[in-house]
Amino acid sequence: MPSTIVTIELNGTDRELIARPSTTLLSALRETFGLMGAKRGCAQGGCGSCTVLLDGRPVVSCLIPVVTVDGSAVETIEGLADGERLDDVQQAFVDHFATQCGFCTPGMIMSATALLNRKPDPTRQDVTEAICGNVCRCTGYEPIITAVLAAAERRRGDPAVPTPTVPTPTVPTPTVPARPAPTEAEV
């Protein structure tokens, strides 16, 4: 089958590419347009790390032949920030330590963004359902859920945005030895 010219509105700008029938949207984003935010994890639609918004809906871009989305609007993680200023969901992920290795983060944020665009006042269950197709191996999900709920509040302009909690030790802390003696062993 021949290659065809495909036009997509990528983060607000019309872009063209010549695509073979087998070229996925993810490959187009990463290899043609150099947008490396969407990650190639499982490449079979199971991990969600390649999630982008297609006409506002979250999709796994690794399963979508790019020739089938000619004329569509595609939004990626790179389209969220305004210059150096992170958008509300990104900032909430930073504030609430919702990222560790970072591989799932772009997909998580795009899934969360789709949820908040659709439903500005989500419940905890709405959030867990929205991100249930995104696998995270590090955080245990709780900080991500907290971040998405906080982002929703921030977007709504609620004054009572929860601040990140840092645990305080419950036992008095002994003073640190003046300088560690690196060879001294302690068991």
Partner 1 sequence: MALRHGRGYAAVNYPTGMNLGGDPSQALVHATTMGGFVVTLSSVDLGQGLRTVVAQCAAETLGIPLENVIVDTADTDTGPHCMGTFASRGTHRVGNAVIVAAREARDVMLQVAADELEVDAEDLETDGTGFVRLKGSSEKKIHISEVALAAHFRQGRTISGRGIFLKEPSTPVPETGEMDPDSCQAHACTVAEVAVDDETGVVEVLRLYNAYEIGRALNPALATQQVEGGAWMGLSHALFESTEPYYPHSREHGPVDFTEYLMPGPADIPAQTSVFLERPAGNGPFGAKGIGEMTANAPIPAIANAVYDAVGVRLTSMPFTPEKVLRGLDELRAGRAG
Q: Which residues bind partner 1 (CB under 8 A)?
A: 42, 44-47, 97, 99-102, 125, 127-129, 131-132, 135, 137-145, 164, 166-171, 173-174, 176-177, 180-187
Neighbouring C-alpha atoms within 13 Å toward the C-beta of 83 = 0
Phi, psi of 60 (to 5 degrees): -85, 110
Nearer to partner 1, 11 or 111 (CB): 111
CA pair distance 6, 170, nearest whole angstrom: 60
CA pair distance 122, 128, nearest whole angstrom: 10
Nearer to partner 1, 13 or 168 (CB): 168
Phi, psi of 54 (to 5 degrees): -115, 110
Give min distance, CB of 138 to partner 1, in A: 5
Nearer to partner 1, 157 or 184 (CB): 184
Give min distance, CB of 132 to partner 1, in A: 5
Phi, psi of 53 (to 5 degrees): -100, 125
Beta bridge partners of 14: 9
**Number of Cβ within a 10 Å radius of residue 179:** 6
Give min distance, CB of 162 to partner 1, in A: 14
Give min distance, CB of 37 to partner 1, in A: 17
Nearer to partner 1, 33 or 97 (CB): 97
